[in-house]
Structure 1
Amino acid sequence: MKQFVVFITICLCISCRQGPSTLHSISGMQLPVNAAITINDSIDAFIKPYRVRVNQVLDSVLAYAPVTLTKTDGELNSSEGNLMADIILAQSRPIFQSRTGRHIDMALMNYGGIRNVISAGPVTARTAFEVMPFENYIVVLEIPGSLVREMAHYLIASDRPQPMAGFQIILDPQGRLQAVNVNGIPLDENKTYYLATIDYLLEGGGNADFLKQNQGITDLNYLLRNAMIDYFTAVDTVKAQVDERFIKYERR
């Protein structure tokens, strides 16, 4: 009897022992989200006041656009691209100045980051979300003049009207770089400049790996989308056009 009890005890101990878990299979299925899904009245009633409030905020009119702005209305620069770069420059300058005592010289964004046009008529907070749906933050980079020249070559090679502000690129009739001016003054490759851009480009997005050669980074902790909303609120009328910040001389 004693041996039987010992045997049963050993069996119970073995059966209760925790062994390593092993994954045998993974399965999944696609659940379509469409009109076939019926509304849950209790959930809908619960979220309704929040939905109404969010829509009120998003659809509140901040400014007015006399004409539609797009990123495709110019070959080397565009009305919407110019506006986006100007917003980065205008909204980040006072913040950077107050924190560091330094002046931002120029701004750069990527063409692909602009995801919608700014239609003529009322400009709302929803407009900002439609144009800039990404959580991109504005950062300020300390860069040498030689890197500004490399940035100019990057913009030339991109073959798209990339958003830029604060500096000018001039090409000769053959498409070769003729001049780079920063705030109307010829580029000094021995000088230090401050570039406002977005964290996406700093991290190498848009093939902008050259920005990693910066000499210092200041994160403004300022969403570009929030900068847009602040800008729209301040200006009342949103104006932008294709200009001469990036030009190519024609043959005579």
Structure 2
Amino acid sequence: GYTLQVSVPEDPAIVSMIGATPKPKVKAAVPAKAEAPAPAPAPAPVVEEPKPVEYPLGVFEIMKNADGANEFDLFVVHTNDVHGRVYSSENSVGYSKLATMLKVGRGITDNILLLDAGDVTHGTNVVNMFEGETVGVLLDMLGYDAVAPGNHDFNYGVDRLLEAAELAEKYTDIKVLSANVLDENGYMLFQPYQVYNFNDFTVGVVGLTTPDTATKTHPKNVEGVYFANEEIFEIGQQAIDIAKQYVDYIIVLGHIGMDPDGASGLTTDKIVNNIKGIDLFVDGHSHTLLKQGMKIGDTMVVSTGGYMENLGLVQIHVKNDEVTAVYPMVIPAADVWNAKDSDLAKQYGIAEVPNDAEVDEYLGYMTAKLDSKLNTVIATVPEKLDGERANVRTKPTNLSRLITRAMTAASGADFTITNGGGIRASIDAGEVTIGEVINVLPFTNIITVVEATGADVYAALEHGYSMLPETNGAFSQTDLQVVYNRYGKPGSRILRVLLNGKPIDKNATYKVATNDFMAAGGDGYTMFGKVLSEGSLLSDVFIEFLSENYPAK
């Protein structure tokens, strides 16, 4: 592990590349013994292969290409915020088609660096049910060079993430990089950086993780973890200046994002505006789509949006160890899925991007394992739980009450408001399987806690009840007690709202559990305030609730 004590703020983890770079050691030539009896000319000196260059904290340089070229193109291929979308489709490049593209590219050049900017190991059932293992294997199969952990990569707990990083270090070439994630004693938990060598053009990749992780995953997942923030600015410039003495090009692989409303206030543009010398910032977290990158000062910032709807590519032209041009772009999933109709694909003479057989075989295997897991019984309920469409979109049901109770309990919020349209099936009395719960809550929404005043709550409920008696996917399912007139004028139907039998205060501020879709204004819920925290999938929350309160018999 990376056990160097880091004092904060005088010497934070980001200063990972400070220090002299030892030169490779070469043993002296050893002449061979002459053949007896007649003397013979001494053979050429035998020299050991040079050892990899070692940098501070025991980081060894990785040689990616040594063909001797002085002028070449380096291709940085990047993804971010994939959120477990492992399958290829018209809306997602997916790992199968990406594997095909990489094999073609590597057949042409070794000058490829494959990076992911985080939030990759959580988000869909085939990934979550195996605590991210599915993605870890895929990243190895595709030959990813480095990943920066995002907040949702902590969703299985920091110990699980550290275990995954250790397995990656031991059995793969993947480096899990983050320079600002420390334990409570100031020790770095992950490798902070890695250096790659392309024909003596050296590239330093530094990982960063958003300090908002402290509130963007369940608090229990990051107990004892400290995310450095202000320390980055206190010594970051000095770190970059010194690093520039030893590497030719600096990439920050950051799950940071452009959203200024996060609890930490840390954004990518804030970093690159205040710290000069970062050449390329591969960004994630805010799902920002930068189709041709964004230049901030001398730094190129790139991001692909999310869910692998696009693949990122940065072409860097290098001549005599100097960068002469940088060309960022994104490749939309639709162009990969339907290459024959893509103008972009036609430019390169590509008519089809087939799936990779090896990746498909692995995904088929994991899908079969998932199917088996979905049949696992997790609870026994005494009565049918009503999730019928006409009911959950017009009134509370016994199922919706349990779901809102589960969300409030899991999040620590004051109460819950969620959309009835997110409840998609009923559960029969008796044994309940994981698959049945996922049928009820099939969307990959995560539990999200937002801030709202009492007046905002009234506005949210007025909105949710506005179409009664007609069915409405935005109907407000809640564990509040709501007194209303369903035939009143829309906007004036909510008469009274009670929390634990007492009226809520319109001037007070509350913590409201909902889902990430609604927190972002989905279904017209634009009245909610800032996001306070994020957690697990709603289906996972409800599975845990049922197993604890209605244990399987």
Q: TM-score of the superposition, structure 2-length normalised?
A: 0.31
Q: Which residue of 1 aligns with 2:386?
A: 70
Please say if residues 458 and 494 of structure 2, whose CA atoms lie closer than 8 Å, have aligned partners that are also in contact.
Answer: no
% identical equivalent positions: 25
**TM-aligned CA distance change 1:61 to 1:209, over 3 Å:** same
Q: Does 1:139 align with 2:448?
A: yes
CA shift, 1:172, in A, is 4.6
Structure 1 distance, partners of 2:524, 2:395, is: 18
- Runs of 5+ consecutive residues of structure 1 not aligned to the other structure: 1-20, 30-39, 94-103, 239-252
Please say if residues 411 and 535 of structure 2, whose CA atoms lie closer than 8 Å, have aligned partners that are also in contact.
Answer: no
Q: Does 1:218 align with 2:532?
A: yes
The match for 2:521 among 190, 201, 204 is: 204
CA RMSD of superposed structures (Å):
3.3
Q: Does 1:180 align with 2:500?
A: no
Q: TM-score of the superposition, structure 1-length normalised?
A: 0.65
CA shift, 1:227, in A, is 0.4
- Runs of 5+ consecutive residues of structure 2 not aligned to the other structure: 1-343
**TM-aligned CA distance change 1:107 to 1:28, over 3 Å:** farther
Deviations 1:161-207 (A, max 9, x none): 53211x22112585343211122211211111110000011122212
Q: Does 1:122 align with 2:439?
A: no
The match for 1:55 among 371, 375, 383 is: 371
Q: Which residue of 1 aligns with 2:188?
A: none
Please say if residues 73 and 79 of structure 1, whose CA atoms lie closer than 8 Å, have aligned partners that are also in contact.
Answer: no
**2:398 maps to amino acid:** S
Greater CA deviation, 115-124 or 151-160?
151-160
The match for 1:91 among 410, 417, 425 is: 410
Q: Which residue of 1 aligns with 2:398?
A: 79
Please say if residues 152 and 180 of structure 1, whose CA atoms lie closer than 8 Å, have aligned partners that are also in contact.
Answer: no
Please say if residues 115 and 133 of structure 1, whose CA atoms lie closer than 8 Å, have aligned partners that are also in contact.
Answer: yes
Greater CA deviation, 56-65 or 186-195?
56-65
Structure 1 distance, partners of 2:367, 2:395, is: 41
Q: Tell me the matched-pair count.
A: 192
CA shift, 1:220, in A, is 2.5
Deviations 1:1-27 (A, max 9, x none): xxxxxxxxxxxxxxxxxxxx8948x99
**TM-aligned CA distance change 1:47 to 1:188, over 3 Å:** closer
**2:383 maps to amino acid:** V
CA shift, 1:57, in A, is 2.1
CA shift, 1:61, in A, is 0.8
Please say if residues 140 and 218 of structure 1, whose CA atoms lie closer than 8 Å, have aligned partners that are also in contact.
Answer: yes
**1:230 maps to amino acid:** E
Partner of 1:56, secondary structure, is helix
